[in-house]
Chain A
Amino acid sequence: MRQLTLLFFIFIWMGTSLAVAQSASISGYITDSQTGETLISANIGFQELNKGTSSNTLGYYSLPNLEPGTYSIFSSYVGYRAFREDIILEPGQNLRLDIELVPESIELEEIEVRSRAEQEEQKNIGTAQINTELVKELPSVFEADVFRSIQLLPGVKAASDFSSGLYIRGGSPDQTLILLDRTTVYNPSHFFGFFSTFNPDAIKDVRLYKGGYPAEYGGRLGSVLTIYNKDGNRNETAGSATVGLLASRFSIEGPYSKGSWMLAARRSTLEPLLAGLRQSIDNVPSKFYFYDFNGKVNLDATKNDKLSLAFYAGKDRVTFPFGSDAEFNLNYGNQTLSGNWTHIFSENLFSNFVFTGSRYFNFPKFDIGGTPFTRENNIYDFSVKADLEYLPGNNHQIKTGVWAGIFTFRLQDSFDNQDNFRSRIQNQYASFYVQDEYRPSNRWIFTPGIRFNYFSDGEYIRVEPRFSMEFRPTDRIRLQAAYGRYNQFLTLISNEAFSGFDVWLTSAEGVSPSYGDQFVVGAKTIPFTGYGLDIEFYYRSMKDLFELDPFLPDVSGLLYEDLFRIGEGYAYGMEIFFEKRQGDFTGFIGYTLGYTWRKFPGFNTEITQDGQTARFYPPKYDRRHDVNVVGTYQLSDKWKATASFNFATGQSYTKVLGRYLQFDLPWTNDTRNAFTVGKVNASRLPNYHRMDVSFSRTGRFFKIGESELQLQLINVYSRRNTWFYNYDFSENPVVVDEVNLLPILPSISYTVKF
């Protein structure tokens, strides 16, 4: 018996060895044939085997443990022609195949045969990818903007026309982690929140995990937005220059002997306009500008090693005198730096190491009647990350990694040259995760994962289980579900109307981190060729939400934990996304039905309850229904039209019910106006709707290069949407003024590509 057992194991071992010895693999990078840019999440596979994968965030793919033989390998990516090649895999061969995909041209009316895998694109649960060319085509207020484009997706809402902040699935903007080349960006806005800091000429990939995001990310309750800068054209030097009404931008990229580089710059061009206005109008800023730079250098050190260094620097500056003895100054911005090393150990093991540095600064200053009010707010975040992707067998793809860093927060307020609040907090943080994408068959995918987090101030250790699954009953339907626990150690003090004063605060001893659970179920379908229809339902809880108590006029002398109010919330909803991807006319319709609620102690109580019985209420950005329609039509070889239409039911607001005055405060002659209200935010503003159109004409700029003239009209029928109601107490009875959002606005820009 013992000999039989021994023989059994020998046969198994030999069989395995033979299998291992005979299997082949294929791996490599997928890039753009014209520019050499790596393509993220490009599809690759074998039609015969109905087996495939997608390239990772560095454009690398690997398919190990393949039966030797002759195959037809395909690869595809939206906006590129499908790639096909016949290959022969010998036993034991590890084939390195770097694939260059050719961009589609406008002459190509119909895309040829596409694999089903390619049509699915990046359709993981809760995920949306933004086409960077669409960002530049969409009509936008003065300046093409990544965040404004993201706001058109279902599940993503905007607070107002003036804000590029992302309110995703009922969460506030601080619940979304924003990564630029894997580096956290803390205040990604210019022009007081009007635009994001991301130059559309510099970026390559924009991916939004709206909810249920995987274990490789953490630190925010809601969502993750990853943005990657271009690497730079590896084949030729190229660039573009754009002149616009608000700002102009310039970018250039090119190869060098060992790699590529990219540089992009953008600056506002408002000075002539401001100078003209100052001749006849008071209260015009004496300084008002913003700029940003993006840069990247890539070194292809060896076949298996790539190095890159990327940076971003941007600033907003305004100086605004008001009155003969009063002035306001604001200086805020971000700087990021990341160094990346990608190393391919083998066709089974891929690694990426990165160090990141991020700084956010914010220096507002008021000087009123000889009394200065100043704030100095700095955040420094330095970290290192290491990620491994391991393919032990074709059914498993294991990702694991660590992220560790130091986060320093400095806030110093002074009034009349005296410090009245000073805080310096330095935290160490660390995370470790492991997840396994397991495909037991062609129809099932299971992705369990777990993430551990540590935050030093308070010695918090948090465990975050994650799980997602997918079932494909047919090739045209993907049913998905996900669950995750998420923690957040930071909170943002911000004003919806004005992001220039944003301050981040952290959890600490006595202030527990927020946490919440997310449940997502959905279906991604291809109802007809060239169309996509996605439906997703979500529910998320939010516990221990800590935010600065809005009822503290002065925080001097208070303990750190007394600065906050601690509450809870939840959100749920449904999103439908219908998309046409092919032909002269392309576009999408997105619909969101969403509910979000918050509750804080002592807030939204009944009027005579003396602060008891707090009730849940909807925050202002809660909108019940939100519809976005976007379409692009190729009118001719030279002309293209893009339009977007947004309809949303009204945001919530508090209707004031009663009024009284307080006359007798001992130290003042002022009377104090006061309202009584019922439930907070139980009323709705009028519905919001707006249509924007854009026409672009391509041509030639002398013999230098291609040109594009873009004419846009924002709010075509000048709908005066309501932002909020303002109460004028100088009148009796009180007069209610409607503060409106943007009127009709034309915009023009001209771009030259060389």
Chain B
Amino acid sequence: MRRIDSPARVWGHYASLIILAIICLTPIWVMVSTSFKNEVVIFDAKPVWFFFFPTMENYDYILTRGKFDRYFVNSVIVATVSTFLTLFLGGLCAYALARLEFKGRRFVANSTLLVRMVPPAVLAVPAFAMVVTLNLNADLVVLIFFYTALNLPFAIWLLFGFYKQIPVELEEAAIVDGASPLQVFFQVLFPMMKSGYAVAGIFTFRIAWNEFILALLLTGRNSRTLPVGAAGFITDTGVEWGRIMAMGTLIVIPPLLFTFFAARQIISGLTAGSVKG
């Protein structure tokens, strides 16, 4: 039965939600508002929170005089290609772990996530050493390779859980119905795995899009991604907050769009009704 809460309880509930929202949204507001301020307002001794005369000069500068377009293209390439690779390889590995019997399967399935627990900062130096030793050019392929490697364990672990939820009878039914292995995958499994791939995709894309340390170390002048580009506004002569924040605001938009798009694929209980539980 539904409990009827007292008004005080309801108010307390909403008050705590509002406080949480303020905590989360304040930095975003600071970023967005600062991006529309000129230097004078930004460095005013008394911070201006809401009422100021907005200016587009920061956006104008980064979009016309910086290398924003190149960084943006680099970021899009790195994030989408590594996300695609991660989902593709991760999906295959997860399927194998969930369905096939082989030696060491349990160990691999249980220890995959451990690899993900290593922070990227720890990997930075060995990664750099590896790139130098192998004489790889500082280009996007290297970054894509590292992001894929970095994200694979998490994607495998996540998709493994989703695959395990799909009853094996569904695959068998499809096989008896005359489906080839590829048809089983694309027409039966994949539609049910959409949620899993969407979740894994959101995580992978965000990490690849936002990652800074490896990108800083492993990219050259022409292969920088957006976060590294934004850091370029920290110069010897000072920190150009307005431009950094304008760049930050623009950086946030694509993953936001991607998340909204991907999240629409997330439907819980997708296998409901397929088998009697």
A and B associate in one complex: no
Which B residues contact A (CB, under 8 angstroms)?
Answer: none
